[in-house]
Amino acid sequence: MRPFTTVTSIAAPVAIKDVDTDMIIPAQFLTSISRDGFGPNLFKRLRESRPDFYQNQSRFNKAEILVADTNFGCGSSREHAVWALLGAGIKVVIAPSFADIFAGNSAKNGLLLVTLPEDVVKRLLNDALNSELKLTVNLEKQLVLSATGAEWSFNYDPFRKHCLLNGLDDLDYLRSKLDVINAKKKEQSVNWFYSTLTPNR
């Protein structure tokens, strides 16, 4: 997993409540066990049914930030939804709320989810729909900044922040602690050995 760096990008709007994982990546495309290849089918049904959807507008071609409505990522627990977003170049999703399982999958795969107040997100969605909205997302400082100078802070789990900034998934994190783990195991083994030599009282 690549370390997360500060992202500055035009923001693409998904002004739909309760976007579920089947809308993000339809079930018929879940044909691979690899994490690769899902990006081209991101939001396929929305893209085909809505001519004004952001993917049908060239100005959003290089968008790395999505601004979405409430309860983004609800529905089934498919991890492929996160893979599809990442595969399409999305690095950050900003919304008032996210489904819990989707949030967990995102953190483990390097997709940053930023929760901001609903009134703020509504304003960002409106700006993204009607003009060019350029945002910077700084995970280290936990700030979202607009090109106009406005800024909003956001909360983020300290453990997940450490992992994203250092490009660590859960297994990588455990590997990074092998020296500590092995030292603890050795200490416990030594303590157990000496405890067997101590007469019971």
Task: Answer yes or no: is pLDDT of 122 > 70.
Answer: yes
Yes or no: say if 7 and 136 are a contact pair by the CB < 8 Å rule: yes
Question: Which one is predicted more confidently, 75 or 179?
Answer: 75
Structure tokens at 128: 């993204």
DSSP string over 148-190? TS-EEE----HHHHHHHHHT--HHHHHHHTHHHHHHHHHHHHH
What is the pLDDT of the chain when averaged over all its residues?
90
pLDDT score for 32: 73
Report the distance separating Cα 95 and Cα 70, nearest Å: 6
How does pLDDT run across 133-174, given as a tens digit for each residue?
999 999 999 999 999 999 999 999 999 999 999 998 766 656
- The yes-or-no verdict on residue 48 having pLDDT over 60 is yes
Question: Are 56 and 8 contacting, i.e. CB atoms less than 8 angstroms apart?
Answer: no
Condensed to tens digits (0 to 9), the pLDDT of residues 77-107 reads: 889 999 999 999 999 999 999 999 999 999 9
CA distances from 34 to 64, 79, 136 (A): 22, 11, 31
Nearest to 68 by CA among 26, 8, 29, 24: 24
Domains assigned to the chain: 7-166 (3.20.19.10)
pTM of the model: 0.86
